[in-house]
Amino acid sequence: MKTRRIIIATTAIASKRGWLWGVLFILLFAVALPARAQCTAQNTAFQAGESVKYDLYFNWKFIWKKVGLAHLTTEAATYRSQPAYCFNLLSGGSKKADFFFKMRDTLTCYVSEKLEPLYFRKAAEEGSRYTVDEAWFSYKDGVANVKQRRTWRDRPAQEMEYSDSRCIFDMLSILGQARSYNPDDYTVGSRIQFPMATGRRVEEQTLIYRGKENVKANNDVTYRCLVFSFVEYKKGKEKEVITFFVSDDRNHLPIRLDMYLNFGSAKAFLTSVEGNRYPMTSVVERK
């Protein structure tokens, strides 16, 4: 049950393009997020030193073009004198892709050793727009609280506060929690919902489990994957926004991502992974 919501200022809605690139790797990890009020969990999936890289592609008139790279890292850190994990996601287009649309995103997140969200920041340069989103998380009497701020280059900042009896996640802390859960209890068609802070508001997100499929990555390795869909609902109709393929092993690493955008389609393919906590037992074939 939601307990409090305060909107202090309002701004224009962020571009769909920027939002999708910001969450494209984060939603991948929400593979088995059950309804739970507490924000703590045991980390059973990742370790400090993990590094994952991806190639990004976009479709222009039936031709797929490589447009950029993404790099996700996990490191041991300290936040307010307490041991923590720090997640960083860097994504950017190539110089050739800048001709069509310039995109440089840097996302940083701190979570406690028990995987509680602590702080989130996203700096995004997308086209001519530059924004910085921040979120600060706190907990009291079983209630999760988040203070958010979006800073613009040329307009007043937007701030808001939100409280919920459920745990509130951001675009990166969701991966630390969800990667540790076991998806074996899900059946095809199962729906997973959770609240997520986006920098301007807290939104309910929906994922649907589709089953399993073998997928080839850009490292010439084929993986057995769990398939999930991220969907939106408009005028009572369900619209698939992202289809993603997550390794069917204890690492739960994203292997491929298909995005269905208003202006075209895009894909992301894994190219390399280092420092993974467990062997990639989902490997089906290597060339």
Per-residue pLDDT of the chain (287 residues; tens, 9 = 90+): 443 332 222 222 234 444 444 444 444 444 444 444 468 889 988 999 999 999 988 887 677 888 889 899 999 999 999 999 999 988 877 766 665 556 678 899 999 999 999 999 999 887 778 899 999 999 999 899 999 999 998 889 999 999 999 889 887 887 677 788 777 878 999 887 778 887 778 888 788 889 999 999 999 999 999 998 878 777 778 888 788 888 999 999 889 988 876 666 788 899 999 999 999 999 999 98
d(CA 171, CA 189): 24
Q: Which pLDDT score, from 0 to 100, does residue 63 have?
A: 78
d(CA 134, CA 192): 25
And the tokens for 56?
């990004």
Whether the CB-CB separation of 229 and 207 falls below 8 Å is answered with yes
Q: Which pLDDT score, from 0 to 100, does residue 36 have?
A: 41
Q: Which pLDDT score, from 0 to 100, does residue 133 have?
A: 93
Long-range contacts for 133-142 (Cβ within 8 Å, ≥24 apart)?
133/198, 133/199, 133/200, 134/199, 135/170, 135/197, 135/199, 137/168, 137/170, 139/39, 142/37, 142/38
Whether the CB-CB separation of 70 and 268 falls below 8 Å is answered with yes
And the tokens for 268?
């992301």
Q: Which pLDDT score, from 0 to 100, does residue 18 have?
A: 45
Phi, psi of 110 (to 5 degrees): -115, 135
Q: Which pLDDT score, from 0 to 100, does residue 263 have?
A: 64
* Global pTM value: 0.80
SS (HEC) of 207-243: EEEEEEEEEECCCCEEEEEEEEEEEEEECCEEEEEEE
Q: Which pLDDT score, from 0 to 100, does residue 99 have?
A: 58
